[in-house]
């Protein structure tokens, strides 16, 4: 890929905007000998990396990826390598070309093209057009032509000299990798630009989960994105490629429970046992809000029995869920159709947060919105006073005190 500061005048406008400032700063610094010694200028020119010495890590990982494809090729390695490289090395290279030299940037772009099986110049143009909220923009250039020719030569060579490998390993893995990339891009933006703050994912993908923050500052270095965390960003507990679980998994299971009285009795029995274990801490509760308690209101049913004098309010952003819940609990429970964080602050003794909570769950744990908070969470996330609801359901109940 070419050095973005040296692109021709007809390059995508967003690419010029993202690279003109760093180039101007470099040239401005180099034009002020009074502020720098000749030695420091010489050292700066000798440094082949344009932005950060940390970029050598990306270069080393790109080489390791290519070596692994050559030494131990497999469908999984081709697929997951394409998905991972495209969202880490290639993505960072698009926004912050690693080298000062245009020749080195072009060479690395060609190297990435061969490793990923996609002309990197084309990938770059499409991605920058996405950031500019424009239809896919690309321009024919010598660089793109060279990368297409290199890729065609590689594929033709594999087809001639290793046709079985190409058709049964490389090509299926490449198609799966493209599918994963498409899935990633779709769920990063389908309901608005969404961030994922999971530590493991952001460690392995160099803070790619800070996606809303990245869109706010596209040329920000990946290491700085956690420091630019947006307070109002839409978030998800799942990485983008697994975000379909939010749509199909939890809601699908809930609808399945609605269709089966036997499953309803099972989930009520499991949750009641967990809440009873925490009941001594709930003895003084007089006012409780249940967030997202629609569809099948198991928590409200249990609290009606265990805390009969408590005022219960179910808050759900789905009117359909509230209509489903009303017949189960009758008129003794109040219903509010809204997102809980849009409601004015109220003095409540207990707030219940569902497993399907949309928002930053860590904030609930660090800054509890009520004196007592019951948080439905995954089995592997114990917090505060914690009780396992069901190992089969992979679920536990955490009690947090303010």
Which strands sit side by side in the sheet containing 334-337, from one edge to the other?
334-337, 311-316, 287-291, 350-353, 372-378, 395-401, 385-390
- Region label for 41, one of left (φ > 0), alpha (ψ between -120 and 50) or beta (otherwise): alpha
CA angle 341, 343, 346 (to 5 degrees): 105
pLDDT average, residue stretch 58-79: 97
Alpha carbon distance 274, 297 (integer Å): 16
Residue-level pLDDT at 248? 55
Burial call 263-299: b when 16+ CB within 10 Å, e when fewer: ebeebbebbbebbebbeeebeebeebbbbbbbbbbbb
Alpha carbon distance 315, 339 (integer Å): 7
**Cβ-contact 335, 358 below 8 angstroms:** no
Q: Given the structure tokens 């490793």, which residue do they identify? A: 115
As given in the structure block, the two tokens for residue 132 are: 């500019």
Burial call 230-254: b when 16+ CB within 10 Å, e when fewer: eeebebbbbbbbbbeebeeeeeeeb
Q: What is the pLDDT of residues 307-350, one digit of tens each?
A: 999 999 999 888 888 888 889 988 889 999 888 777 777 789 99
Residue-level pLDDT at 7? 36
Closest CA to 58 of 18, 87, 21, 19: 87
Q: pLDDT band at residue 11, thresholds of 50, 70 and 90?
A: very low
pLDDT average, residue stretch 227-241: 90
CA angle 143, 144, 149 (to 5 degrees): 100
Give the rounded distance of the alpha carbon of 207 from its chain centre.
9
Q: What is the pLDDT of residues 88-101, one digit of tens each?
A: 999 999 999 999 99
pLDDT average, residue stretch 190-208: 93
Assigned CATH class of 248-401: alpha beta
H or E stretch covering 282: none
Residues in the chain: 402
As given in the structure block, the two tokens for residue 286 are: 């007089």
Residue-level pLDDT at 402? 85
DSSP string, 241-253: GGTHHHHHHHHHH
Residue-level pLDDT at 362? 86
pLDDT average, residue stretch 30-55: 58
**372-378 vs 395-401, strand pairing mode:** antiparallel
Provide long-range contacts, Cβ within 8 A and 24+ apart, for 393-398.
393/267, 393/270, 395/355, 396/274, 397/271, 397/274, 397/275, 397/278, 398/365, 398/374
Domain residue limits, the chain: 4-190, 191-231, 248-401
């Amino acid at each position: 890929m070419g050095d973005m500061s040296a692109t021709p005048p007809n390059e995508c406008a967003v690419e010029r905007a993202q690279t003109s400032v760093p180039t101007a700063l470099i040239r401005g610094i180099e034009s002020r000998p009074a502020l720098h010694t000749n030695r420091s200028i010489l050292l700066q020119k000798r440094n082949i990396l344009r932005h950060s010495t940390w970029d050598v890590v990306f270069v080393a990982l790109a080489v390791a990826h290519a070596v692994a494809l050559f030494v131990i090729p497999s469908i999984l390695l081709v697929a997951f390598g394409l998905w991972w490289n495209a969202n880490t090395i290639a993505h960072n290279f698009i926004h912050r070309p690693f080298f000062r030299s245009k020749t080195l940037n072009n060479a690395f772009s060609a190297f990435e093209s061969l490793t990923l099986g996609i002309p990197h110049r084309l990938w770059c143009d499409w991605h920058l057009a996405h950031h500019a909220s424009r239809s896919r923009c690309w321009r024919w250039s010598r660089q793109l032509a060279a990368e297409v020719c290199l890729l065609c030569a590689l594929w033709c060579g594999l087809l001639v000299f290793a046709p079985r490998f190409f058709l049964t390993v490389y090509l299926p893995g490449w198609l799966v990798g493209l599918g994963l990339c498409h899935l990633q891009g779709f769920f990063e933006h389908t309901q608005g630009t969404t961030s994922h703050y999971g530590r493991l994912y952001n460690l392995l993908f160099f803070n790619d989960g800070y996606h809303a923050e990245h869109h706010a500052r596209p040329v920000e270095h990946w290491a700085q994105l956690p420091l630019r965390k947006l307070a109002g960003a839409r978030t998800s507990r799942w990485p983008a490629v697994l975000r379909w679980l939010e749509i199909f998994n939890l809601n699908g299971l809930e609808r399945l429970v609605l269709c089966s009285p036997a499953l309803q009795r099972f989930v009520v029995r499991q949750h009641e046992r967990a809440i009873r274990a925490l009941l001594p801490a709930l003895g003084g509760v007089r006012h409780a809000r249940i967030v997202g308690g629609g569809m099948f209101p198991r928590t409200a049913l249990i609290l009606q029995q265990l805390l009969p004098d408590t005022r219960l309010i179910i808050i759900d952003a789905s009117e359909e869920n509230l209509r489903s819940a009303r017949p189960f609990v009758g008129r003794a429970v109040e219903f509010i159709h809204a997102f809980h964080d849009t409601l004015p602050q109220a003095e409540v003794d207990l707030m219940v947060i569902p497993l399907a909570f949309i928002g930053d769950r860590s904030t609930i744990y660090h800054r509890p919105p009520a004196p007592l908070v019951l948080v439905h969470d995954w089995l592997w996330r114990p917090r505060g006073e914690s009780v396992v609801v069901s190992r089969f359901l992979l679920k536990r109940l955490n009690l947090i005190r303010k």
